[in-house]
Structure 1
Amino acid sequence: MHKLRCITCEKVYDPQKGRYTCDDCGPLLGTLEVLYDYESIKLEKNFKKKASMFQFAELLPVSSHTPLDDFIGGTPLMTFDHVFGYDKLMIKNDGMNLSASYKDRASIIAVNRAIEEGNDHIFCASTGNAASSLALLNAHTPIKTTIFVPSTIPSGKLAQLMVAGAHIFPIQASYDEVFDLSLEIGLKNGWYTRNSAINPYLLEGKKTGAFEIIVQNNYESPDYVFVGVGDGTIISGLCKGFKEFYDLGLIDNLPKVIGVQAENASTLKKVFEGHDLFVEDVQTIADSISVGNPRDVVKACKYLKENGGYFMSVTDEEIVKSIELLASTTGIFSEPAGAVTLAGLLKSDIPKDKSICLVITGNGLKDTSNIKITEVKSYTKEEVYEYFRKEHS
């Protein structure tokens, strides 16, 4: 059994259908965190390295109800020695989830929670990954899926939405405007929301990435974990996941979590560094983290300060270079929002003997619009033979 606690006033609520935020603090300041009876939870170091996220059932707020549950999470933690000058570099590659995105961890929680509450309709506002994830993971259930996205959604993510059969509304507006519109329509109709931050259960899915990093690294904490940040829910989830394993005695120290934002979409970083809560217009090639009104700002800032980590920002040019460098060096093709982690690492002054983990949140095939594909000459067979004859003559 779990409880819900307001991140600001700490008022505690029992879980109930339609409960998303604190009545007193509202949807921004009153986001809720999920609490468990930690004293009754006794975990040992016997989790499997490649099992799904539902192996952490004692620390999840839902039970498993769908045949897809066994295939979400368990993504590889890839280790490279002496790459980019670091003795040990780990890459948590969540581009290998079912929809090729870290967002599957949250979507499968939302689908199972919607089933448990007896909902017949679920909705989501997204720049693309969360939407395509929800549409694909919910396609096999009788629950209807309605999706609200900016009309600038990358074609790869739109294709996933279309083949999944979701009801899609591409809107000529920013993500933040789309988010507000989706809540107005979805909650008015009594639909279940998969929107980040507003739904406290989504973070519980996202924290499982932290659990897996620890388990797959033989219960040793990396020194630093880099992750791209938009709304703030994934970084909140990682901080919470590491803290829960620490409090339960499964690790001896906490990794420092570093949130990386695009320079022209760094609202959360500014608030973390002392600015008052505010909303701004943002623009970056990293569409998945292009957020000027981060909904999990309070939780993200609180959890990161407790963790001892910090935020940094990188330029779009640095992001593009990192996509290419990551692929050409490790073979991992990341979307821009994942490659910001490498851009952040290369911009940092972290000593080379520290162990590093980069969280790659999405596959690069989901957004290829910023990759410069040069015109490639085509050859006749005769020209190929002639080329290699000269090459070896």
Structure 2
Amino acid sequence: MTHKPLPAPTAYDAITALRCLICGAEYAPGEVRYVCPHHGTEGILDVVYDYAAIAAHTDRDALTANHRRDMWRYLPLLPIAEPRFIPPLDVGWTPLYHAPRLGALLGLPNLWVKDDGRNPTASFKDRASALAVVKAQEANARTITTASSGNAAAALAGMAAGVGLESVIFVPASAPQAKIAQLLIYGATVVLVEGTYDQAFDLCIAAANQQGWYCRNTAYNPYMTEGKKTAAYEIAEQMGWEAPDRVFVAVGDGCIIGGLHKGFADLHALGWIERMPRLMGVQAEGSAVLYEAWRRGVNEIRPIVPHTIADSISVGVPRDRLKALRAVRQTDGAFVVVSDEEILAAMRDLARLTGVFAEPAAAAAVAGVRRALADGQVGRDERVVVVITGNGLKDIPAAMRAVEGEGKAVRLPPTVDALMAWLHVQEKD
């Protein structure tokens, strides 16, 4: 584990307010911890910055010259008061691959894959969790908690272990075993909720308020967007500070797409990119709550009982819906819906044509690209980035379903004759 020097200063002193997305009420940092008190858990807050103040102490050239290769290279743009609390694991600066073979299959030559499955706990959620443990320590918390369908939970457990915080995790009992194993190996206290993710979310908030634990929950904690926005910074920098035309990402609660929007908006406000990319949110058919709200042109949702193979985006009540809908609407993007069968096909195509192994929710973004192209929503000459939010080892049963009937495994005795006989049959076929 390499400890690298941290840049300074941070953007903490450039925060002008925490602004409610519903009523516009503004609060100073520390005045409220999580949400606007006028709206309870629905009162999602946005961190607002004085961009002139940020520009006074950093610029794009200074950032490019920074040799640190993780999300903390962007510390001058992050709301951290105490950099000494930054966890030791290297989070972020994940690879961005040009994907010509996958692009050829889809008919999209200018296609890139951002592989966030390369993070320490194998998902995009490490970005928010890394920032969460910093804010928890700033608040003098000894225990940190979250509700999750799996990835955010593992991310928080790993980041908490790295700094010695206790973690209490609420996950649906139906979460994949690989994700539960991650929680246990990191030493988290795991509460398997016999219910949905949405019920686990509500239980987590109630427990945090009663016990005084620091809560990392998506949307409820305004700083989670700030961690997730670092992926947008990386995409822009890795593409030479020229934003792509579109970015596709799977959407459940809505925090990731909201974070990408915040990151690109920061860069645009600072003049570091000339234009915003169109953000494309991909949802599974059995969990398309935000798609329906977007299609109807409203912010109100119709809660459902979700059902999809993509557990990480299986959400019936998207908690960060306001930021997600804003991200798509303000960038003239769109929501796209894909089936579980399309998701499984995308898992295969992505792995076989790029070498990137994605869990179902992450592969949904690739399925969304294919669907949007078929529907004429994307031009064949556009520069497109698809964000892979989680590694395929998170859900081996789903991966086995994806290759059902297509696998090439063969069982043979350990002899050359047996191998040659089998190869001879293959040649005949």
Task: Determine the C-alpha separation between the residues in 1 that align with 2:294 and 2:178.
Answer: 33
CA pair 328-5 structure 1, distance change in 2 beyond 3 A: same
Name the amino acid aligned to 1:377. Answer: V
Name the amino acid aligned to 1:317. Answer: E
- 344-353 or 122-131, which deviates more: 344-353
CA shift digits 1:230-251 (9 cap, x unpaired):
0011000111111110111011
- 170-179 or 272-281, which deviates more: 272-281
Partner of 2:117: 95
Name whichever structure is richer in strand by fraction: 1
For structure 2, list consecutive stretches of 5 or more residues without a partner in the other structure: 1-12
Q: CA deviation at 1:300?
A: 1.7
Partner of 1:196: 218
Name the amino acid aligned to 1:380. Answer: P
Residue from 70, 91, 94 that aligns with 1:72: 91
Task: Determine the C-alpha separation between the residues in 1 that align with 2:371 and 2:196.
Answer: 29
Name the amino acid aligned to 1:16. Answer: G
CA shift digits 1:8-66 (9 cap, x unpaired):
211111121761000112221x1000112211122433334972111111221114335
Partner of 2:23: 9
Name whichever structure is richer in helix by fraction: 2
Partner of 1:329: 353
Q: Does 1:149 align with 2:174?
A: no
Q: Does 1:278 align with 2:283?
A: no
Task: Determine the C-alpha separation between the residues in 1 that align with 2:213 and 2:32.
Answer: 9
Q: CA deviation at 1:268?
A: 1.2
Name the amino acid aligned to 1:40. Answer: A
Name the amino acid aligned to 1:357. Answer: V
Partner of 2:159: 137
Q: Is the 8 A contact 1:54 1:64 kept in 2?
A: no
Partner of 1:377: 410
Residue from 353, 373, 377 that aligns with 2:381: 353
Q: Is the 8 A contact 2:248 2:279 kept in 1?
A: yes
Task: Determine the C-alpha separation between the residues in 2 that align with 1:296 and 1:390.
Answer: 55
TM-score by length of 2: 0.87
Name the amino acid aligned to 1:332. Answer: V
Q: Is the 8 A contact 1:50 1:75 kept in 2?
A: no
- 50-59 or 211-220, which deviates more: 50-59
CA pair 246-392 structure 1, distance change in 2 beyond 3 A: same
Q: Does 1:236 align with 2:264?
A: no
Task: Determine the C-alpha separation between the residues in 2 that align with 1:69 and 1:230.
Answer: 29
Name the amino acid aligned to 2:305. Answer: D
Partner of 1:303: 327
Task: Determine the C-alpha separation between the residues in 1 that align with 2:176 and 2:426.
Answer: 41
- 57-66 or 94-103, which deviates more: 57-66
Task: Determine the C-alpha separation between the residues in 2 that align with 1:143 and 1:282.
Answer: 33
Q: Is the 8 A contact 2:230 2:263 kept in 1?
A: yes
Name the amino acid aligned to 2:79. Answer: P
CA pair 297-389 structure 1, distance change in 2 beyond 3 A: closer
Partner of 1:257: 279
SS in 2 for 1:369: helix
Q: CA deviation at 1:277?
A: 2.9
Q: Is the 8 A contact 1:50 1:74 kept in 2?
A: no
Name the amino acid aligned to 2:326. Answer: K
Q: Is the 8 A contact 2:127 2:228 kept in 1?
A: yes
Q: Is the 8 A contact 2:85 2:137 kept in 1?
A: no
SS in 2 for 1:222: coil
Q: Does 1:315 align with 2:334?
A: no
**Superposition RMSD in Å:** 2.0
Q: Does 1:53 align with 2:53?
A: no
Q: Is the 8 A contact 1:127 1:150 kept in 2?
A: yes
Name the amino acid aligned to 2:315. Answer: V
Task: Determine the C-alpha separation between the residues in 2 that align with 1:277 and 1:24.
Answer: 20
Residue-pair matches, total = 392
Partner of 1:36: 49
- 34-43 or 123-132, which deviates more: 34-43
Partner of 2:235: 213
Percentage of matched positions with identical amino acids:
40
Q: Does 1:185 align with 2:220?
A: no
CA shift digits 1:342-378 (9 cap, x unpaired):
1111111212111110000000010122223558432
Q: CA deviation at 1:70?
A: 6.0
Q: Is the 8 A contact 2:88 2:162 kept in 1?
A: no
- 358-367 or 36-45, which deviates more: 36-45
Partner of 2:392: 364
CA shift digits 1:238-287 (9 cap, x unpaired):
11111110111011111100000001101111122225333211111100
Name the amino acid aligned to 2:243. Answer: S
Partner of 1:27: 41
Q: Is the 8 A contact 1:54 1:70 kept in 2?
A: no
Partner of 2:312: 288
Task: Determine the C-alpha separation between the residues in 2 that align with 1:269 and 1:150.
Answer: 24
Q: Is the 8 A contact 1:68 1:137 kept in 2?
A: yes
